[in-house]
Structure 1
Amino acid sequence: MDTIFALASAQGKAGVAVIRLSGPLAHSAAEGLTGGELPPRGMILRTLRDRDGSRLDDGLVLTFQAPASFTGEDVAELQIHGSTASVNAVLMCLSDTDGLRIAEPGEFTRRALENGKMDLTQVEGLADLIDAETEAQRKQAQTILAGELGALAERWRRDLIRAASLLEAVIDFADEDVPTDVTPEVQQLVTAVMGDLRREADAVKIAERIRTGFEVAIIGLPNAGKSTLLNALAGRDAAITSEYAGTTRDVIEVRMDLSGLPVTLLDTAGLRETEDFVENLGIELARKRAEAADLRVFLADTPGELGVTMQDGDIQVFPKADLRAESEGGISGKTGQGIDTLISQISCALGNRSTSYGIATRERHRVAINKAAEALGQAITVLESGPELYDIAAEELRTAIRALESLVGRIDVENLLDEIFSSFCLGK
């Protein structure tokens, strides 16, 4: 196994920079820089020098002995002053050391996975934590990183192994009288796991939205003030506004943090009948995005005139409240009237939906969970036919177990790893 190294902290000038090494030569390479023996596990202040003995920097050297480290290997971390010159000088010395090479993106975490320090769901949770921009995303990522989905999958797997072993015991002793009918216990175990799986699969969509962001579409007639409203919500000029109808031709997206939830606001083309070919393309795209959005804000006196069906939870506000004699229920991006109320309505609507999210957060999770649930449904159907078909029921249980093992990365995930780890930085 190669020994790898990389800058683990952010690029650029900083108060402290962290350079991480992992592999069989990690400790000896650190000792080569510090000119003295290091403890197998501990922290010590040392002066770092190059091969000629020239001073590079002073820094803290942390050592971790396998397997009690992040990667499960011998690990050393150099905490030095965060100047670009100091970091480059130390990295250059490490590059010139025999047996060391620069780490690939995500390679430290990949080694943690391969050495059993993390499962695949925890790796995904770590990636989500690095990318988290809102409080809801941080909490969700921490739940996955803590191993809760892996622990849940392991409990399901354990119950299914118990159920399969009961069936296989009956199969193995088919010529003998088995004193106990195992069917009730097997059905109880399988039914309980299948119920958990279906609930988790149903909640994936909301969990995934917390991870990637909810979409809220602002729709209305041309010149209803949609772009002005978007700019007011965003606090900047994200969309072009003018008095001419049809100014917005494409869908304009603005990401925001609303009450800790990630939200992407969509400013869409004004919905109307027109002979302008390009504007028609924008209107058709606007309708599609509005229908696919998680929530729609109807900026109109009569929502039905927009040709988009208003769904439960959607919000209607009256446009250009600053020009109305009666302003109740109205909004104005120009004056700010009603903006706070609208933000509160959107936050409340999405917050209520977020209470039902589960632990599984990705489409990959949903596919594996549904595959396991489908196999369990087949197993229950077969069980009702009696002991003669127990071998088929046991095979369905094994299919479900394999699906859960793919969920946590035990099998059938090699094709996913390169894609997952490519999103990590070098030092992670």
Structure 2
Amino acid sequence: MIHDTIAAISTAVGEGGIAIIRVSGPDAIEGVDRIFRSRISLKDAQTHTVHYGHIVEPATNEPVEEVLVTLMRGPRSFTAEDVVEINAHGGVIAVKKVLDIVLQLDGFRTAEPGEFTKRAFLNGRIDLMQAEAVIDLIRSKSDRAFSVARKQAEGVLSKRIKSLRQTVIELLAHIEVNIDYPEHDVEEMTSAYIRDQCGSAIEEIDRLLKTANEGKILREGIVTAIVGRPNVGKSSLMNMLTQENKAIVTDIPGTTRDVIEQFVSLNGIPLRLLDTAGIRETNDVVERIGVERSRNALEDADLILFLLNNNEPLQAEDRELLDQLKERPVITVINKTDLPRQLEIEVVERAVPAHSIVPMSVLAEEGLDRLEQAISEMFFEGQLESHDLTYVSNVRHISLLKRARQSLADAIEASNMGIPIDVIQIDARSAWESLGEILGDEAGDSLIDQIFSQFCLGK
């Protein structure tokens, strides 16, 4: 049981219209009532109501801030505890004054990162998978990623994991009965039941893991390096995709000296764009460092946008890069299609037959739709499924699903080999525990602390 009461600022620090101080715990209502002056006492107020008044300095009873206070009695709150949210003016000083007064109350302390969500988990309102989805909601970089996280936070994916656990627990129950009452065991029927239950669970896990690559991309974004020799339009493409002048654009080769990073959502696909320095041999010490960083960015990239100029013949540097990128996930962008063509496109097609080639004019902002389609075909087989947002996107969940699948496969193999049923029980229980760790049922305190430490204060 949780005995103390926590408080923290739940809105971003800085100037704004309002700021919210969230308070949760057994003394939340009675404590805030001692520093809040209004026409009605919070102790007498109905749950899920909003009240106008002032926060006062306890020692002098002088008003400090004009506020609106929202009251939510547990368990009908985010944490399943009594929760009070104080809406104050959004200035740094105003909100700090209110928080300081709240924290002076007996038994009140500052919340740790993610502690409100952690309490929701510990109090059984949400499972660990739903709690982790809250982080994804906050960090979403695209509408699609937000929708996937929202579905997970609502428990859609948790229901499928719980259904899987139910399949495995039924198997464990059957095995337990046969261990306790071996005289009633029919070996062939038991083996068939094990294969059937484990096979059914494996099929469902495979359906979930099939979405893992797309889910991970939606959650983390595609690391996309924009590469090419100097002055082919890399920075211009970066600015076009981000719709801002993030990168300096000039006719002087070597203008970009370092890797510039920016997130962008392209047709619902989140890209982590890396605008790299033009790759070429140079005697300039600073530019040489930038070129080396560009080569390192190539190694880490999930996708490479390789730019060529439509109005120039292939250069030696172009050919060298084409050779280096043969086996990489590359989309070749032919830029400056608004100018007369001098590029030998047939040579490019022969050099990289497996690459998608997208003609564009960054200056005229033409060809973006073709680039979006090429990326979608490379990573999502042409389109994102709009009707099913049940993606597995968390690396921890993917790893545990694979572990559970292996345990179930081991159980089937053991059954086929005629291994005693009490040994098969170990594999089945291992699968059950791995699935439980996804939901938090089998998670240790250190894992739980690690997960919630990733949250911001006040969430």
TM-score range, shorter chain: 0.7 to 0.9
1:391 matched residue in structure 2: 422
Decide which moves more: 257-266 or 414-423: 414-423
C-alpha separation in 1, matches of 2:301 and 2:94: 49
Offset at residue 107 of structure 1 (A): 1.2
Offset at residue 372 of structure 1 (A): 0.6
Q: Deviations over 1:70-128 (max 9, x none)?
A: 21222222334445454333323212211111212211111111111111111111111
C-alpha separation in 2, matches of 1:270 and 1:365: 39
Give the secondary structure class of the aligned counterpart of 1:91: helix
Q: Is 1:338–2:344 an aligned residue pair?
A: no
Assess if the C-alpha contact under 8 Å between 2:74 and 2:81 holds in 1. Answer: yes
Assess if the C-alpha contact under 8 Å between 2:407 and 2:431 holds in 1. Answer: yes
Offset at residue 364 of structure 1 (A): 0.9
Superposed CA RMSD in Å reads: 3.2
**Cα 1:207–1:100, aligned 2, differ >3 Å: closer, same or farther?**
same
2:57 matched residue in structure 1: 50
1:92 matched residue in structure 2: 100
Decide which moves more: 169-178 or 141-150: 169-178
1:38 matched residue in structure 2: 44
Q: Is 1:378–2:394 an aligned residue pair?
A: no
Give the secondary structure class of the aligned counterpart of 2:117: helix
Offset at residue 313 of structure 1 (A): 7.6
Q: Is 1:78–2:86 an aligned residue pair?
A: yes
Assess if the C-alpha contact under 8 Å between 1:61 and 1:76 holds in 2. Answer: yes
C-alpha separation in 1, matches of 2:383 and 2:298: 18
- Alignment gaps of 5+ in structure 1: none
C-alpha separation in 2, matches of 1:39 and 1:173: 59
Decide which moves more: 362-371 or 240-249: 240-249
C-alpha separation in 2, matches of 1:28 and 1:224: 66
Q: Is 1:420–2:451 an aligned residue pair?
A: yes
Give the secondary structure class of the aligned counterpart of 1:182: helix
Question: 216, 219, 237: which is aligned to 2:224?
Answer: 216
**Cα 1:247–1:75, aligned 2, differ >3 Å: closer, same or farther?**
closer
**Cα 1:56–1:369, aligned 2, differ >3 Å: closer, same or farther?**
same
Within a 5 Å distance, the mapping from 1:395-406 to structure 2 comes to 395-406=426-437
**Cα 1:176–1:321, aligned 2, differ >3 Å: closer, same or farther?**
closer
Q: Is 1:126–2:155 an aligned residue pair?
A: no
Aligned length: 426
Offset at residue 191 of structure 1 (A): 0.7
Give the secondary structure class of the aligned counterpart of 1:29: helix
Which amino acid counterpart does residue 205 of structure 2 have in structure 1?
L
C-alpha separation in 2, matches of 1:368 and 1:375: 11
Q: Deviations over 1:243-262 (max 9, x none)?
A: 55555454332321212321
Within a 5 Å distance, the mapping from 1:8-407 to structure 2 comes to 8-34=10-36, 36=41, 37-39=43-45, 41-48=47-54, 49-51=56-58, 52-176=60-184, 178=186, 181-241=189-249, 243=251, 245=253, 248=256, 250-271=258-279, 286-287=294-295, 289-290=297-298, 292-300=300-308, 305-306=320-321, 307-310=323-326, 314-325=330-341, 330-333=359-362, 335-336=363-364, 338-346=366-374, 348-349=376-377, 350=379, 352=382, 354-355=384-385, 359-386=391-418, 389-407=420-438
Offset at residue 240 of structure 1 (A): 4.4
**Cα 1:228–1:173, aligned 2, differ >3 Å: closer, same or farther?**
same
Identity of aligned residues (%): 33
C-alpha separation in 2, matches of 1:393 and 1:179: 13
Assess if the C-alpha contact under 8 Å between 1:129 and 1:142 holds in 2. Answer: yes
**Cα 1:179–1:206, aligned 2, differ >3 Å: closer, same or farther?**
closer
TM-score of the pair, normalised by structure 1: 0.86
Which amino acid counterpart does residue 82 of structure 2 have in structure 1?
D
Give the secondary structure class of the aligned counterpart of 1:318: strand
Which amino acid counterpart does residue 103 of structure 2 have in structure 1?
S
Q: Deviations over 1:380-428 (max 9, x none)?
A: 0011133x51111111000011111111112234223333323323221
Assess if the C-alpha contact under 8 Å between 1:259 and 1:347 holds in 2. Answer: no
2:354 matched residue in structure 1: none
Decide which moves more: 305-314 or 230-239: 305-314
- Alignment gaps of 5+ in structure 2: 346-357
Assess if the C-alpha contact under 8 Å between 1:206 and 1:357 holds in 2. Answer: no
Assess if the C-alpha contact under 8 Å between 2:240 and 2:365 holds in 1. Answer: no
Give the secondary structure class of the aligned counterpart of 1:215: strand
Give the secondary structure class of the aligned counterpart of 2:44: coil
